[in-house]
Chains A and B, each alone.
Chain A
Amino acid sequence: ETGVTQTPRHLVMGMTNKKSLKCEQHLGHNAMYWYKQSAKKPLELMFVYNFKEQTENNSVPSRFSPECPNSSHLFLHLHTLQPEDSALYLCASSQALAGVLAHEQYFGPGTRLTVT
């Protein structure tokens, strides 16, 4: 185990549903990330939170809405998704020193999302 947990592990939702993905890290890190991994494509960085402040939104559609209430928890709220949003959504965390993101990242197991 990496110290980063994600729930649920699998999620099937219709295009009109609203759901949320949850990530929790037990490593004492203060930077957290959301990535999307589609079949045959590289991991794509979606959002970065550093000390609970969002520091990156990598041109992600507004139907994805992140929330970081504290340094240990990260959510991804989903609404009116499209079938092409089906993918593995990965959460990661890392240490941040004086606001600078450290290098190695620790990933959770991911949530396999299917949009029907």
Chain B
Amino acid sequence: SQKIEQNSEALNIQEGKTATLTCNYTNYSPAYLQWYRQDPGRGPVFLLLIRENEKEKRKERLKVTFDTTLKQSLFHITASQPADSATYLCALDPSNTGKLIFGQGTTLQVKP
């Protein structure tokens, strides 16, 4: 069956460290993958998109990698801050039509 998996357990790290979140998928061949941030009681906010021909994408302290062989994306936040605490969702578009399939999200807690 087709599915997207993110670590369901919360990730707790110390301020200043690098947070690494994982998104694995099976039985999809997406042209691109996206990452969103969601705070409690709010809608997801788009962060980054990486295409299948891109190995790595960066935006300020954020870095995303995309390995189509492993069917995995890694999301890194460097020099993490307590304000980075949120749930991070990965999403892909199996048919390249904008109809996104989301993972269940990983909650990140950055402690001061």
A contact residues vs B (CB 8 Å cutoff) = 2, 4, 31, 40-43, 45, 48, 56, 90, 92, 94, 96, 100-110, 112
CA distance A100 to B97 in the complex (A): 7
Please state if B42 and A103 are interface contacts (CB–CB under 8 Å): no
Contact of A103 among B44, B98, B101 (CB under 8 A): B98
User: What string of 1s and 0s marks CB contacts (under 8 Å) between B86-112 and chain A?
Assistant: 000101010001111111110000000
B19 / chain A contacts, CB cutoff of 8 Å? none
B contact residues vs A (CB 8 Å cutoff) = 4, 32, 34, 41-46, 49, 89, 91, 93, 97-105
B99 / chain A contacts, CB cutoff of 8 Å? 45, 48, 56, 101
CA distance A47 to B65 in the complex (A): 30
CA distance A48 to B43 in the complex (A): 17
